[in-house]
Amino acid sequence: MWLTESSWEPILLCLVGTAFFIALFSKTPLKKYAYAAIGCVVLGVAIFFIERAIVTDLERVENSVYGLADACKSGNIEQTIDYVNPNEVEIREMIRKGMNLVDIKDDLGVTDLQVKMGAGGKSATSHFRANGTVALSPGGNQLSMDFAQHISTRWILTWSKIGDSWKITNLQRLNPITGESINPLAQASN
């Protein structure tokens, strides 16, 4: 949103204004207080809908992280790779290789998502945790669920704005406990 990152602060301010003018109206029943209270309610509702219509670049990057997680869960390699800048061939191939090695289950969840916009609004960095069940599938053949394991991962993705969309230009997997950088395809230790 243009005023604040969340619409709730200005909406709360409108509710406080509404309560204030209702209190004034109850003491001195002047029409101007009633109109002011109604105006505060209308303004609060308008702020809610306007905020829903405005999507900032920060929100677009957040949505891309969740979309990336959904693509991984669905096992759709091409859709997952589509989140990566076409010039980043190594990252695209690493994702393809990784997704051919594992089957990511539907319980994958993204938590602790933080997005920071770069100077000029053309780059961003997302830092998040992705936790879920992964089953090995060497050679594309799904193994028994006995080989499935719940893993915790932590990631930093660097994004660049290309046209109207955001694409990954760098990825870094971190140890979920220590924060040290590790190989993105390293076996989980938990």
Asked if 51 and 7 count as a contact pair (C-beta separation under 8 A), the reply is yes
The pLDDT profile of the chain, 190 residues, written as one tens digit per residue, is 455 667 889 999 999 999 999 999 999 989 999 999 999 999 999 999 988 888 889 999 999 999 999 999 999 999 999 999 999 999 999 999 999 988 899 999 999 999 999 988 899 999 999 999 998 775 554 444 457 888 999 999 999 999 889 999 999 999 999 999 998 887 766 5
CB-based burial label for 104 (10 Å; 0-12, 13-18, 19+): buried
pTM: 0.76
Q: Domain 57-182 belongs to what topology?
A: Nuclear Transport Factor 2; Chain: A, (3.10.450)
Tokens 């001195």 -> residue: 28
Domain boundaries, the chain: 8-53, 57-182
Torsion of CA 68, 108, 129, 102, to 10 degrees: -80
